[in-house]
Amino acid sequence: MSEYGALPTGFRRKRLDEIFSELCEYFKGTIGVDPSEHPQSFFAVIVQSFADQQEQLWEEVENVYYQLYPGSADGVNLDNDIQISGFMRKARKRSRYVLACTGDDGTLIPYGSLVKSTTQPERQLQASANQEISRENFWRIKVRPVLTDVSKVTEYTITLHQNIDSGSVGTVVQAYTKTISGCATYAAAYDAMKAAFVEAGEKIGLTITEEITDDMDDTGALVKLIVATGTKEDDSFYAELTSNVQVEQVTSNLSYETVEYGDISLPLGTITQIVTGVNGLTSVNNAVKYSPGRLAESDAEVRLRYAQSVAIRGSNTIDRICASLLADVDGCDYASGYENYTDKEDAEGRPPHSIEIVVRGGDDTEVAETIWNGKAPGIRPYGSHYAYITDSEGVRQYVQFSRIENCVLHLKVVLEVTKSELDNNYLEKIQSILTTAELTAGSNVKMQETLIPAILKGVNGINYIDMTGYLDDTGGKTVGVYKHGTIVVGLRQQPTITNDSIEVTVSE
């Protein structure tokens, strides 16, 4: 058996001195001349040159050997290795921004049209698709009634509803429709229409104001516009209006991306300059938090993520989905899964033959796409949150999952102490210990095993601790009952401790 090449202990290549020695032995045995005896001779130089070429071949063979394994491969060879296991390097990605684009109703924003920031250095962004500033996708809309014939009573119909792609399951978004009749004057039509918008705003989340223009109505008064604005910067609404409702201006939230790749963060309100002139577009602004991009993963980053994502290559659907979420969805730092394989609803409310994936962080659509692509056919994804995605056949799919809910852990800490030995800053130390404690989502908090020992170890002068607690929602609206022992944490809850949720007293 050869002592070189691919061995059970790994790859061993021949060194230059070993190759030269073998060649010298060969020529000594065949032609009776040992080149090593006369190293300055022409023959020895030739043999040395051949040995050097063989040594380079051994180096190439060794390199090929190590390029077969993810732990040692580089570049495209590493990509080829990990693809065997269904794993891929994260490609570079542009940072995405939602820009509030203001202009005329029906203004087309073509793909690739440019805007830029006011920062130094300035950054250019391009429209990520052909999009439209439209009443069918508005964040803000300015309207007014039109009297087509002042001698006749005019009727107006408005329909408004909210466009939602993701959110909490069970959220009812009411559509609002109103027909306004009996309006013989502009003032009557305006007042009735404004009242309808105010009523709609209360139901679907619009703020209604008005704006005065320089135009005159039929009575000689200045024309006012009804301004309907979403209460959140990333809201989107749909308006269906009769032709006698004039749309003066629309602001739509449209998708842009940076021209450069990578995580390019720009302050809110700094993307305001239009580079590519578009008829009907008057202004742009970034009022919504951006989605960061990235550069292509380095070899070291790929190897680390590959090693951490062994479960992706497993046969268990839940493990594979959770591992994919953690590995591939930016911002997702927690994922766990549960399944109901029975023919009946389980104790957690999961339907028969369903899975529930609980996540924290990550874009709704990216989370939903990962779950959809990882689940088995015929299995329903279930949860308290939802997002719409488009599958490989171009069909719009509704995907449910659950989001981690942050819950406040309220604690009462009663201390028995030796006052002469008690740290002067004992309260600050206890608050620091408790607020930095590592509490895991979905895991019960055993105060006697984690929190109490940490305080005893970190604060001098404490002889005994009596600790009670209860878990509440983030708003703290519900007054719970303090109890000893273990605090039960739901599968979808993340317990957090704040300074305000800690009450410390010293027993005399």
- Mean pLDDT score, 39-67: 87
The pLDDT assigned to 152 comes to 61
> Which has the minimum average pLDDT: 206-215, 308-317, 337-346, 495-504?
308-317
The pLDDT of residue 158 is above 80: yes
The pLDDT assigned to 86 comes to 67
Query: For residue range 344-388, what is the model confidence (pLDDT) as tens digits?
Result: 999 889 999 999 999 998 889 899 999 999 898 889 999 999 998
The pLDDT assigned to 382 comes to 94
The pLDDT assigned to 173 comes to 66
How many residues appear in the chain? 508
The pLDDT of residue 206 is above 70: yes
Q: What is the pTM of this model?
A: 0.66
| Confidence bin at 303 (pLDDT 50/70/90) | confident
The pLDDT assigned to 113 comes to 96
The pLDDT of residue 156 is above 90: no
Under 8 Å between Cβ of 365 and 396: no
The pLDDT assigned to 302 comes to 81
The pLDDT assigned to 468 comes to 94
Cβ contacts of 147-153, under 8 Å, gap ≥ 24: 147/183, 147/185, 147/186, 147/189, 147/218, 147/244, 148/244, 150/184, 150/185, 150/218, 152/184, 153/181, 153/182, 153/183, 153/184
| Confidence bin at 483 (pLDDT 50/70/90) | very high
Of all residues in the chain, the percent with pLDDT exceeding 70 is 94
Distances (CA, A) of 183 to 129, 137, 144, 208, 209: 42, 28, 13, 21, 21
Tokens read off for 319: 């493990």
More confidently predicted of 74 and 105: 105
| Confidence bin at 33 (pLDDT 50/70/90) | confident
